[in-house]
Amino acid sequence: MPSAGAHRNLEEAARAIADTGRRFYQRGWVWGTAGNFSTVLSSDPLALAITASSLHKGELQPDQVIVVDERGKPTSPGRLRPSAECLLHVRIVRDRPREAGAVLHTHSVWGTILSEHFAAKGGVELQGYEILKGLAGVSTHQRTEFVPILDNDQDMDRLQAGLGKVLARNMSSHAVLLRKHGLYTWGETLADAERHIEVLEFLFEVVGRTITMRQHEGEAIWHS
């Protein structure tokens, strides 16, 4: 049986996760039943509070947040089940034990577009923007943040193994994009992870719109 303290932690975590879900839905980052959110309740043994599978994030309720162990198996009572992507959350909190106390996953329009546009380059490079200082440990705009892109896969064992390799190769990155799928980022707390989503989604839109404008300018010169 979990202690009373663990219950209180779960309740608080579930309320905070539900609030995040509603905010992200309003901002267009988790349409449909896309996205999932988690926060670490205890690290040894791992207990992760995570949104259950196939839920509308704009109407997320605290009792739709469940607890899973280090194998992604539910340990809380009830019939709700975690999404298959739960294993990716587990992988991130295990491979980034100091940085990842919470993991957030969104499916935004700009993130999806850039994940395909930059796939051949292996990632999106974000450089010189003031808002990069919103990422944990970054104190100057003179920073190159590399968001690696990993091919999507419906085989979760293969995908989480691939994610592990990408995380190991990019120790200073704050996030990973899944190709034509969405963004995974993390933070010490849920608030830190939410700030990372805001910073990265802002920059994805800036980069995407900049590419589009340059293409239009190029076409205008071509036709003049």
| Residues of this chain that bind Zn ion (CB under 5 A) | 182
Q: Which is nearer to Zn ion, 182 or 187 (CB)?
A: 182
Tell the smallest beta-carbon distance from residue 7 to Zn ion (Å). 29
Tell the smallest beta-carbon distance from residue 15 to Zn ion (Å). 23
Tell the smallest beta-carbon distance from residue 85 to Zn ion (Å). 5
Which residue intervals of the chain are DSSP H helices? 4-26, 86-95, 109-117, 156-169, 190-223
Q: Which is nearer to Zn ion, 72 or 182 (CB)?
A: 182
Name, in order, each residue with C-beta under 8 angstroms of 5's C-beta and a sequence gap of 6 or more: none
> Helix, strand, coil % (nearest 5) of the chain?
45, 20, 30
Q: Which is nearer to Zn ion, 101 or 182 (CB)?
A: 182
Distance CA 125, CA 60 (A): 33
Tell the smallest beta-carbon distance from residue 35 to Zn ion (Å). 6
Judge contact between 180 and 115, C-beta under 8 A.
Answer: yes
Tell the smallest beta-carbon distance from residue 42 to Zn ion (Å). 25
Distance CA 102, CA 193 (A): 6
Distance CA 99, CA 163 (A): 16
Q: Which is nearer to Zn ion, 30 or 132 (CB)?
A: 30
Q: Which is nearer to Zn ion, 9 or 36 (CB)?
A: 36
